[in-house]
Structure 1
């Protein structure tokens, strides 16, 4: 935890780490934003000055004010991101699960399009030298390599990201200044008057196209908030000043170069203004630095996707999947299934769209949805923090209007590629929503009983030598939130389904907390030395290694003399041999679905398919499989007493 607190302090190292982790996406946007704004249009002063004005005010209103100033306040014990934000506000209203899931899916969909567009834009700079170079193969090779190395952890190369991105932003700022000095009048483009003039003078279709293109300059703002826990609020805010200055200077420099070609219609894929403002001798170095920056941007997004999925699993919004921890570094994790799915998706995008200018059409739509969902959740956070209602209303109106406009701008691109990320997002939403809804349906039919009614019989069973001993220590995982309750199926398993005699019965419950890194437990001796309940309170970013955690708790209880786990078999007891432990996991299986509505039957059918590819409960909780018994029990959807049948003679 001390390391975590150190990250929250403002330090030179913290600022450098922020440059390497956070700004990959937003920092590589100058590679393609002006290309997208100009498109195939004739270059004019209105277009360039208006485009620059729109970029400046988008970065100011959207990135600086909404994210850096306002949203970074919504930290959950130092952690950021849409699921951290959801955990902060979810108790205010049940429907907040919808924007959280939509936003999470949109961010994951963004992870499939960002690596292809950034790496393609960087590599396409080589077309200045070799116009016929097939860049697709180079891009695919880089993406394949990037996803291949994920399994080994990236903490070692990650340390070099900060200095590399510092070089990248400094390079962009210097290149921009060289052109701004040539024509300082370009600075007038910072006036909002030019943005207004461009949008008013263009027809509605062109105006929305331009708005959709301008939005690409702020797509990384959501990632900036997601990485709050890695860098700390103050480090992000200070580093953003430098990043924003570098970005604006580079955009202004590109604007000067474009105005030098006023009245021309140019193919910006070959004459990308980002590379055109570089001296000829520097071009190969510039392309190399751009490629490294694009790879770093992609790496940041892949790591963010892993974190997002891990949080979704803990919050029961995603099927249980294998999560590895390749290094000791905090937050470093690797999700094999997501890694290969993302990798295949990215390569598919490159093969489908071929060029970065075609990918621009698919880019932006899903991230606009994520930003809209964050706006809704942040408004709830501001309400929780007791901000005046008029402040919250102004925040909501301003940002729903801005992001709503961007959404329409991006919807214009739907048929040209926007359909792709929206389709991916929709598939992800179906998975998350099904997993969440199915759990609620199943919980509806889980019957709980008062455990106190069974104290005496459990005690008698434990002492009954006529019943063969099942295990010395018998552990059940329970979903009952209250100490006074237990699932009827657990009682049935102990007393009726092959009566299970044990020296001590344990009930283990895991409660996922709204704080990210909580690790606490409570012990309740329901029947001293016979029936003990342990409640683990684990944060939504804590790995649920119940096997290890349970063992640690038992060791602590033994040291304090609160429990005796020595074997009761005479031959073993005299040698103080510890008794055996056995976990019983009860898997609830839907018996019949005729009592469910059509929608619920559909959800449960999809859930059944998802269960086949997800980890089993015992693997998900990190249990030692050699000590686990899985008992399948049917979930009764109808009360037998409500069924009428007549006997005939």
Structure 2
């Protein structure tokens, strides 16, 4: 109940945070949308101006306001939003839902590589109005590099400035828009949806301008992803202010463009509505807003990858938690990947105008996938079938129209974002497919069948003691099950005598921040199993969590952790703990079908670049033993060996 209240409550601080975190992408869209609709160097025509603004008005109303702010924000997973949180809500109902989740998540990440360059480039290129010969590429790369270097320190300190700066930005948008509208108030007639219809249906080639119009709503998906940071109430109230400022600025740009009818568009209309004396200030504010937009998207990418890892959709890469802020995560490998991708985009496209050709195509795919998942969410919540069908039909029509219109961007740069998305889809598919293959064919045995052998080994003084407390990580979901490889490691590979055998299992839950554990004492003071039930956004710090569990057990008198060595026992010295992590490699003794073999080869190739199991679980490296065990998925049968005399 408390969580629901926090989700819906509205506070001044919450509204300010929402401005700073959520609206960076959608808030900086006036920098390039009208320029993209008219086309730099294109002739300014009133039909295109009125129709384009009308399309923007109704796109922001139907796509951003109705679909995301009013409807999709209802689909919260314990207060968290985003495509993977939505997937976590429905994945138990149908296995095929993994497909839209993977496609949507990959497309969102791919689009994230283009958003920082286009936002920063559009802002910095305003300097050319004052300094026509200035080289903007080094400045853009410099700003992006500095931004990515700062990620390791966390965004807590920088984040405090985000809200006030974005408030200044939106007030600037609205004020400039109003001043320009007053010079040509007739532009307000573009509220009439007929002008949108006229552009898309009657004007020659007008439908294809939807690809440029769509850029006004690309940040809607990020708005849903950041639900957990700000709450539904703060997002809905702040969106009223944000949308008003955005529309005022779009209408202001439209008013200026109408006064230039018949002329060639020589410079960005965003800067053209600024008084000349204000230009340098406007460019500076726009650059800061673009950096904030980039920061929000980078942080969102880290969160997305963190969720994907917990849901077995991404390799186990190193995660860091630079601040105590809820849910804030830093992924060094993804930070490098994003930086490299952003720099490559800047070097390849050079101008923001060229980046517009690649921008937006991937995010239409994400929005389509969110529509599919959200409809299934409504279906599982027993909403009226007619209403769910109408929602699906309406938004499939809208988003497929945007997708088709965006396809003309494919040969002009759209292929870049799709190519990145396809690579990411491949990685996610391989990781999930390999996980399922391993899960299906991993051999488990009943732990109770081995209790006599474990007790006998524990008491066998002819075997050197391996550790007082021996802790094995296990994937077995059932309390009485254990991997056969674990038993093999203890009893056969090298007999590991210990006083107490601990088996630790981590269960990832669909709720984001749950932190619970269960203890099953299988044999008192001999064999104990601990199951951690952790949300998919909880940091894996098993070493820390396990210490807490042991402290609680000692306090309750459920276990004695004093060293069993006689000399140390008299001094009440705590016994040593040693973790054993089994790391699998693909055995040569496999006879797999072609595609499964390819999948597993790709899986183990990718695994070479990921975080080792001990560091992934957050274990202390000084007390961890990594054991390599062969993964025999399907052993070779009928070996044609012939004995000769």
The answer for the alignment partner of 1:310 in structure 2 is 306
CA contact 1:79–1:229 (8 Å) conserved in 2: yes
The question of 1:510 aligning with 2:509 is answered no
Q: How far apart, in 2, do the equivalents of 1:601 and 1:467 lie?
A: 40
Unaligned runs of 5+ in 1: none
The CA deviation at 1:592 is 3.0
Matches for 1:335-350 after TM superposition, within 5 Å:
335-350=331-346
The CA deviation at 1:557 is 0.3
In structure 2, relative to structure 1, the CA distance for the partners of 1:644 and 1:537 (3 Å cut) is farther
Q: Once structures 1 and 2 are overlaid, which stretch shifts more, 597-606 or 363-372?
A: 597-606
The CA deviation at 1:370 is 0.8
Q: How far apart, in 2, do the equivalents of 1:245 and 1:198 lie?
A: 23
Q: How far apart, in 2, do the equivalents of 1:10 and 1:242 lie?
A: 14
The answer for the alignment partner of 1:15 in structure 2 is 15
The CA deviation at 1:458 is 1.3
3-state secondary structure, aligned to 2:353: helix
The answer for the alignment partner of 1:182 in structure 2 is 183
Per-residue deviation, residues 166-192 of structure 1 (Å, max 9, x unmatched) = 111111111111122222221111111
The answer for the alignment partner of 1:461 in structure 2 is 457
The CA deviation at 1:641 is 8.1
The CA deviation at 1:5 is 6.5
The CA deviation at 1:55 is 0.3
3-state secondary structure, aligned to 1:633: strand
Per-residue deviation, residues 116-170 of structure 1 (Å, max 9, x unmatched) = 1011111111121122221112111111111111112221121011011011111
Q: Once structures 1 and 2 are overlaid, which stretch shifts more, 585-594 or 339-348?
A: 585-594
Q: How far apart, in 2, do the equivalents of 1:645 and 1:138 lie?
A: 68
Q: 1:389 aligns with which of 374, 385, 389?
A: 385
Q: How far apart, in 1, do the equivalents of 2:338 and 2:379 lie?
A: 36
The answer for the alignment partner of 1:24 in structure 2 is 24
The CA deviation at 1:251 is 0.5
Tell me the TM-score normalised to structure 2 length.
0.97
Q: Once structures 1 and 2 are overlaid, which stretch shifts more, 584-593 or 551-560?
A: 584-593
In structure 2, relative to structure 1, the CA distance for the partners of 1:44 and 1:641 (3 Å cut) is closer
Q: Once structures 1 and 2 are overlaid, which stretch shifts more, 59-68 or 5-14?
A: 5-14
Q: How many pairs align?
A: 644
The question of 1:452 aligning with 2:435 is answered no
CA contact 2:3–2:78 (8 Å) conserved in 1: no
In structure 2, relative to structure 1, the CA distance for the partners of 1:288 and 1:202 (3 Å cut) is same
Q: How far apart, in 2, do the equivalents of 1:147 and 1:210 lie?
A: 33
In structure 2, relative to structure 1, the CA distance for the partners of 1:52 and 1:638 (3 Å cut) is closer
The answer for the alignment partner of 2:262 in structure 1 is 263
3-state secondary structure, aligned to 2:288: helix
The answer for the alignment partner of 1:399 in structure 2 is 395
In structure 2, relative to structure 1, the CA distance for the partners of 1:188 and 1:600 (3 Å cut) is same
Q: 1:523 aligns with which of 519, 524, 536?
A: 519
The CA deviation at 1:78 is 0.5
The answer for the alignment partner of 2:233 in structure 1 is 234
CA contact 2:519–2:528 (8 Å) conserved in 1: yes
Q: 2:280 aligns with which of 271, 275, 284?
A: 284
The answer for the alignment partner of 1:275 in structure 2 is 271
Unaligned runs of 5+ in 2: none
CA contact 2:510–2:535 (8 Å) conserved in 1: yes
3-state secondary structure, aligned to 1:459: helix
The answer for the alignment partner of 1:138 in structure 2 is 139
3-state secondary structure, aligned to 1:92: coil
3-state secondary structure, aligned to 2:534: strand
CA contact 1:180–1:252 (8 Å) conserved in 2: yes
The CA deviation at 1:3 is 9.7
The answer for the alignment partner of 1:209 in structure 2 is 208
3-state secondary structure, aligned to 2:92: helix
Q: How far apart, in 1, do the equivalents of 2:207 and 2:202 lie?
A: 12
The answer for the alignment partner of 1:323 in structure 2 is 319
The CA deviation at 1:452 is 1.4
The answer for the alignment partner of 1:441 in structure 2 is 437
3-state secondary structure, aligned to 1:91: coil
The answer for the alignment partner of 2:245 in structure 1 is 246
The answer for the alignment partner of 2:370 in structure 1 is 374
The question of 1:223 aligning with 2:243 is answered no
In structure 2, relative to structure 1, the CA distance for the partners of 1:246 and 1:96 (3 Å cut) is same
Q: Once structures 1 and 2 are overlaid, which stretch shifts more, 133-142 or 3-12?
A: 3-12
Q: 1:567 aligns with which of 563, 568, 584?
A: 563
The question of 1:167 aligning with 2:168 is answered yes
CA contact 1:16–1:163 (8 Å) conserved in 2: yes
CA contact 1:592–1:637 (8 Å) conserved in 2: no
Q: Once structures 1 and 2 are overlaid, which stretch shifts more, 252-261 or 628-637?
A: 628-637
CA contact 1:8–1:231 (8 Å) conserved in 2: no
Q: How far apart, in 2, do the equivalents of 1:57 and 1:568 lie?
A: 74
The CA deviation at 1:643 is 6.1
Q: How far apart, in 1, do the equivalents of 2:52 and 2:106 lie?
A: 30
The answer for the alignment partner of 1:119 in structure 2 is 120
3-state secondary structure, aligned to 2:608: helix
CA contact 1:7–1:14 (8 Å) conserved in 2: no
The CA deviation at 1:499 is 1.5
Q: How far apart, in 2, do the equivalents of 1:322 and 1:99 lie?
A: 26
CA contact 1:177–1:253 (8 Å) conserved in 2: yes
Q: 2:594 aligns with which of 598, 611, 618?
A: 598
3-state secondary structure, aligned to 1:510: strand
Q: How far apart, in 2, do the equivalents of 1:153 and 1:633 lie?
A: 38
Q: How far apart, in 2, do the equivalents of 1:357 and 1:175 lie?
A: 23
The CA deviation at 1:331 is 2.5
The answer for the alignment partner of 2:486 in structure 1 is 490
Q: How far apart, in 1, do the equivalents of 2:583 and 2:22 lie?
A: 41
Q: How far apart, in 1, do the equivalents of 2:583 and 2:85 lie?
A: 29
CA contact 2:591–2:636 (8 Å) conserved in 1: no
CA contact 1:567–1:577 (8 Å) conserved in 2: yes
In structure 2, relative to structure 1, the CA distance for the partners of 1:512 and 1:159 (3 Å cut) is same
Per-residue deviation, residues 268-308 of structure 1 (Å, max 9, x unmatched) = xxx21111111111111111111110010001001111111
CA contact 1:8–1:78 (8 Å) conserved in 2: no
Q: How far apart, in 1, do the equivalents of 2:309 and 2:126 lie?
A: 40
The question of 1:56 aligning with 2:52 is answered no
3-state secondary structure, aligned to 1:496: helix
- The CA RMSD over aligned residues, in Å, is 1.7
The CA deviation at 1:349 is 0.8
Q: How far apart, in 2, do the equivalents of 1:373 and 1:453 lie?
A: 47
CA contact 2:257–2:269 (8 Å) conserved in 1: yes
